[in-house]
Every structure is written in structure tokens, then in C-alpha cells.
Homo-oligomer: A and B are copies of this chain.
Amino acid sequence: MRVHAECYQCFISQAIRSSRLFYEDRQHLLRPAQEVVRILRDINVELPPPLISEDVYGTIRKSLGIEDPYKQIKRKYNDIALKYEDFAVSEIEQANDPLLYAIRLSLAGNIIDFGSQIGSFSLENTIDEVVKNPLDLTDFDLFEKDLQKADRVVLLADNAGEIVFDKILLKTIKELYPKKELFIIVRGGPIINDVSLEDALYVGIDKIAKVIDSGQLIPGFWPDFAKGECKTVYESADIVISKGQGNFETLSEFEDRRVYFLFLIKCSVVAHYLGLKKLSKIFIRNDERWARLRA
């Protein structure tokens, strides 16, 4: 998915939101917005938004003089989500279909996002909603079949906090299929509230899956940029669970049937792109099917 007009607005809004974590006064809030406008003047609109975010957040970080503006928020939401861990595990154990239940919880965790248009959210209400209400299961059978056959499973992580629910999903897969090799690819460094190596280790996901750093400082995943172990792991994966909007915005530019997108729609551009409403629950294979959603 490529940059749309609304993304310009959104990038500036992200600059303001990041600055607000540290400042309230007009001058301090103006500066990062001005810097982002400078970046936006020359962007290539044929790229997916997360590839622009790389420059936008680089500028915000520089303008704020802070390496990881969301450090505290990431820690806070990891802690909040960790409190749900026992509850989630026991719910999954009691579920008729543990895999599907774990997918639902992982989807609910995607509400934790500080880079989207969602102004405020309730994790509790989202879990309740996502667990109870219908989910389009057209691709669930395909996913289960692909998963059964797979040797290597890769989860592309998205946000801190959310990562706890992804850990539980991977744990569920491990219990169902103990022989599979599980991997999780995290961001190459601090970008918004996305999961970096530090967050992955903090929530102990390394006990379930091998953690790999994408080497990319973008809130998405761009296969062409992958190098070294990340490249090998991604290319050799039999099935990829792509969490979150940023990974969708990037990977939707590639046709790759190994990839299953799992996210909540959190911005009007993606909503319009898929012809669905904001907060729609998405679980689709990256093939011609999701293109049909747009028809």
C-alpha cells in the first residue's frame, strides 16, 4: 500500500504526539512538525507509508534529541499486557479451538498502538470485543493447513504490549506442534512503540521462539532490505504471521502466499484501501483474496 494524501496529515500528527510526551509549549511542539514538513516535501509517494516513517521518525528523534521517545510507554504496556498473561493462557486452554482463540487474543493485542489514528483505546474492551464478536474465518482453514505442513514459522512482531499476546500465540502453536521451529522478527531499533529486541526479551518471548532483529528501522517489514540471519530466516519460512498495520502496509506490495496478515484496521487510509471500516478485524492470506476485499 502506497502513501495517500491523509498520510501527510498523519505523519505530522505523529510528530506532535511524540513531542507531547515531553513538551506542552507551542515552540517545542512546532519544531518537530516543521522538520517533518521538510521531509514530506520530497518524499516518494509511490512508497508504502512505513518506509517514509523511517525518515519521519528519524527527524522527530533528532529534533527531540531523544533516542527512544516511546521507551517508557513500551515498558508500561509490556507490563500491562503481562498482567493478562495467566488469564489469556487459561482462556486458551479451555477454548474449543485453542489456536483460533490465541489468534483472536493476538488480534486484540494489536489495539496497543501509538502510531495510528486511534486516539485512545481500552485493551480490556478490545479483548472482550474481539473474543466475542464474529471474525471472518475464510482463511483460517488455509492457515491451519499451511501451519500443519510448516517446519519454520515466523511471526513479524508489531507493538510493545501486543507482543505479550503474540508470545501466547506462539506458545499455543508450540504446544500444538512441538516440532516446529519458531522465530519472531522484531524491529531493528526504536521506532514509535514497535517491538525492539529489548521489549522481546523483557516479555520473555525468547523462551518460546528465536528472536531476530530485522535490521530495519521502519515500523513495517521490507523483504528486499533484509540481510544476514533475518534474510535467511524470512526466506526459509514456510508460514509468516504478519502482525499489525505497518507490516500490512509494506508486505501488501508483495504477493506472498506464505504471509497471513493479522491486524485491526486503525486508520482511514487502510480502511478505505480495503473497503472496510476502522477497527475491522483482519485475518487474511496475502494472495488474490485480500485484493477481492477491495472490490
Tell me whether A37 is interfacial, beta carbon within 8 Å.
Answer: yes
Asked whether A13 lies within 8 Å of B4 as measured between CB atoms, the reply is no
Asked whether B12 lies within 8 Å of A9 as measured between CB atoms, the reply is yes
Tell me whether A142 is interfacial, beta carbon within 8 Å.
Answer: no
With an 8 Å Cβ cutoff, the count of chain A residues facing the other chain is 23
Secondary structure dominating the interface of A: helix
Asked whether B34 lies within 8 Å of A37 as measured between CB atoms, the reply is no
Asked whether B45 lies within 8 Å of A34 as measured between CB atoms, the reply is yes
Among B9, B12, B32, B33, which residue has its beta carbon within 8 angstroms of that of A16?
A: B9
Tell me whether A214 is interfacial, beta carbon within 8 Å.
Answer: no
Closest residue of chain B to A269 (Cβ to Cβ) is: B26
- Asked if A45 meets B16 with Cβ closer than 8 Å, knowing A8-B37, A37-B40, A40-B37, the reply is no
Tell me whether A38 is interfacial, beta carbon within 8 Å.
Answer: yes
In this complex, which of A4, A6, A8 has the most chain B Cβ atoms within 10 angstroms of its Cβ?
A: A8
Closest residue of chain B to A16 (Cβ to Cβ) is: B5
Asked whether A30 lies within 8 Å of B16 as measured between CB atoms, the reply is no
CB distance from A16 to the nearest CB of B (A): 5
Tell me whether A89 is interfacial, beta carbon within 8 Å.
Answer: no
The proximity string for A residues 1-36 relative to B, scoring 1 for CB distances below 8 Å and 0 otherwise, is: 011111011001101100100000010011011100
